[in-house]
């Protein structure tokens, strides 16, 4: 991932930390999660649910059955782990 893309992702992800719990119906949050997942080389056709675990830490479910743990790691990088 290029530094410019990473900065953009991190900026978008930083704003997500302030999002309230239960924001799965928020289209902006769903779009941001889909973008972070795609930029990390994973597939998600449509985000169906987003569960906030903590600040900048989410569990994302996709329509295609994929589930991901999306979070900011200790180095400040947006990270996606397939569940």
18-74 per-position pLDDT tens digit: 444 444 567 889 999 999 999 999 999 999 999 999 989 999 999 999 999 999 999
How distant, in Å, are the alpha carbons of 11, 58, 65, 75 from that of 50? 19, 7, 13, 23
Count of structural domains within the chain? 1
Give the per-residue pLDDT at 21. 41
Longest Cα separation, the chain = 32
Question: So what's the pLDDT on residue 27?
Answer: 81
What tokens does 83 get? 């569940």
| Domain carrying residue 71 | 3-82
């Amino acid at each position: 991932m290029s530094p410019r893309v990473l900065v953009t992702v991190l900026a978008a992800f930083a704003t997500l930390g302030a999002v309230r719990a239960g924001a799965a119906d928020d289209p902006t949050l769903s779009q941001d999660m889909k973008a972070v997942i795609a930029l990390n080389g994973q597939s998600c056709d449509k985000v169906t649910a987003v569960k906030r675990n903590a600040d900048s830490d989410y569990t994302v479910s996709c329509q295609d059955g994929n589930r991901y743990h999306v979070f900011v790691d200790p180095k400040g990088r947006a990270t996606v782990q397939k569940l």
